Amino acid sequence: MKGDVIAGRPERIEPGPGQESVWDYPRPPRVEDTSRHVEVIFNGVTIADTVRAKRVLETSHPPSYYIPTEDVRMEYFVPSPRRSICEWKGQAVYYSITVADRIARNSAWTYPDPSESFAEIAGYVAFYAPEMDECLVDGERVTPQPGGFYGGWITSEIVGPFKGVPGSMGW
């Protein structure tokens, strides 16, 4: 079956017309502009809405969408003490989001001082889709990247298999 893992290695799913395979994405990853309409909704409030997002594309990962802070309702964001390191992008800092009585802890992140190769995502915020009510790309509700650690968004035009499924740590 396509997408199965054989001897620890994933079997690439062949993309259909209008689709992309995450196995065609580069490593190290790259950033690209997108004019797709990207929306993030939490507790009934649209907290991000843009047509100026950037996608980070990396082998085996669905795209992560980074939204300029000018298009994000930052009044709902509270800095978190959480930090992480990406070997490509540098140190990420996190935000918790509070809208009325709901809090989504560590549900958004940014790279305030990214590596030189990713300088263009400084001032942009990304979101963990499972923590939000909805994350939409051109009106399509995204499926979160499996596993809970990575922040990729899966849409109908993206095929895998995707890093994050059981057994994929070595990919």
Task: Using the structure block, give the residue that is written with the tokens 């939409």.
Answer: 136
Helices (H) and strands (E) in the chain, counts: 0, 17
- Give the span between the Cα atoms of 40 and 134, in whole angstroms: 6
- The pLDDT tens digits for 48-71 are 999 999 999 999 999 999 999 999
- The pLDDT tens digits for 93-139 are 999 999 999 999 999 999 999 999 999 999 999 999 999 999 999 99
23 phi, psi to nearest 5 deg: -80, -5
pTM score of the predicted model: 0.93
Task: Using the structure block, give the residue that is written with the tokens 């992480």.
Answer: 84
- Give the span between the Cα atoms of 60 and 41, in whole angstroms: 26
Asked if 163 and 62 touch (Cβ cutoff 8 Å), the reply is no
Cα 57 to chain center, whole Å? 9
Region 83-94: mean pLDDT is 96
Q: Where are the domains of the chain?
A: 5-159
Task: Using the structure block, give the residue that is written with the tokens 């990919």.
Answer: 171
How do beta strands 124-127 and 134-137 pair? unpaired
Return the structure tokens found at 163: 């890093």
The fold for domain 5-159 equals: 2.170.150
